[in-house]
Amino acid sequence: MPSASPVRGPTTDELAACAPGGPPHRGEIDKSGPSPLFLFCGFPAPGKLLQVSDPIPRNHELHTRVSEILTDVLPVFLLILVGWVIVRTGLLKTDVGEAMSEFVFKVAVPLLLFRTIAEADFRGASPFRLWIAYFSGVAITWTAGHIVATRLFGRDARIGVLAGVSSAFANTIFIGLPLVGRTVGPDGVMAMSILIAVHLPTMMIAGTLLMEQAERKENAGAGRSTGELLRQVGSNLLRNPLVIGLFCGLIVHLTGLPIPATLGTVVDNIANIAGPAALISLGMALRQYGLSGNLGVTSVIAAFKLFLLPACVLAAGLLLGLSPEWRAALVLTAAVPTGVNAWLIANRFGVGHSLAASTITLTTALGAFSVSLWAYLLG
């Protein structure tokens, strides 16, 4: 019976190759085929960057991930800062910002929504799970804001409604759309378009009806009827440029009508400036808000808006099995600052101006941090 061949140990050259100071040097790319020496030394597969000292790459990956998030998120809030500085330094007047905001709301964003819906590939996805995931978070946060304002801080029912609105009404148009477009991409913008289709009507109807109910409670039953309110809100929504843009986009999507190339180019050019123009105009309008009143209730409502709402939306999105892109779009939208509609409702009913204004200002100031945190948690 033949004797077993002795096992050959590594040669001096092979051991040198495995030593920290020996070849292959850090940064070299090994292009040769696999060999036992690679397995013996524990080197990575051919074609990969060789790291002889083999540091744990997690710190590098973390740094890269944080850099990517800041690259996507910070420009959004820097554009808001640019708008604020423009007005603060007197380079342009506040009226210019108001005109720009009108252009964004009535022209640029409606065309962006039109283009998104007209060209969308829904791939059979149902919007109902998306709506349930988002508005379940809204309901929880709105209720929490109302209870805190009325029970903990002793405010009346009208302030309670406004606190609920301020804690749950995200700035979907001026911040949400640009942010999701940068961080999530086309799938995220499509999810945003589906959300916006019902977000404004739902939030405005709920806010108006609850505020009228609170008004009647405070004024011993005096006030307009529910039917009158619904007719007025419905009439306003039918004339809303966002609703018109979404509806027209849906018609083109369902009928398959082709958009002429020249017209499509014009639509694209206007839609592409919707995000930057919205952010700058928002920054130019911030001076009219500021911080005032009792900052205790404002701080709690701001925390609900930036952390409780996105946490509830994330949990609902996971339970309902939304895709990662749609889930990320909803959570990031929930994490953006309070929308200016909270101020509009306060102005319409003549109550809670300081709470709405302070919440908008505080959430905008802290928005870069909260959005970056949620973007990191979403992975």
- The pTM of the full predicted model, rounded to 2 decimals, is 0.75
Name 176's bridge partners. Answer: none
pLDDT computed for residue 97 by the predictor: 87
Tell the residue number behind the tokens 């500021």, with chain if given.
Answer: 290
- Cα separation of 187 and 97, whole Å? 30
Among 284, 277, 202, CA closest to 240: 202
The length of the chain, given as a count of residues = 379
Structure token pair of residue 170? 């995200």
Q: What is the DSSP letter of 350?
A: T
CA distances from 329 to 30, 128, 193, 196, 239 (A): 41, 15, 10, 12, 27
pLDDT at 145: 96
290 CB neighbour count, 10 Å cutoff = 11
- Give me the pLDDT at residue 29, please: 43
pLDDT computed for residue 146 by the predictor: 95
**Cβ(311)–Cβ(379) below 8 Å:** no
Residue 288, SS3?
helix
Q: Return the structure tokens found at 292.
A: 């005032």
Q: What's the 3-state SS for 43-112?
A: CCCCCCECCCCCCCCHHHHHHHHHHHHHHHHHHHHHHHHHHHHHHHCCCCCHHHHHHHHHHHHHHHHHHH
Task: Express each pLDDT in 293-309 by its tens digit.
Answer: 678 899 999 999 999 99
Q: What is the mean pLDDT of each run of 10 residues along the chain (379 residues)?
A: 50 50 46 42 42 53 77 88 92 89 89 86 78 96 96 91 94 89 89 87 85 78 67 78 88 90 94 89 80 82 96 96 94 93 81 86 90 90
Measured distance CA(3)–CA(206) in Å, rounded: 89
List the one residue out of 119, 365, 74 whose CA is nearest residue 256: 119
Q: What is the pLDDT of residue 345?
A: 83
CATH architecture of the domain with residue range 73-378:
Up-down Bundle (1.20)
Report the distance separating Cα 81 and Cα 83, nearest Å: 5
Domain boundary assignment for the chain: 20-53, 73-378
Contact 205, 232 (CB under 8 A): no
Q: For the chain, percent helix, then strand, then coil, each to nearest 5?
A: 75, 0, 25
> What is the reported pLDDT for 198?
86
Angle at 300 between CA 298 and CA 301, to 5 degrees: 65
pLDDT value at position 354? 84
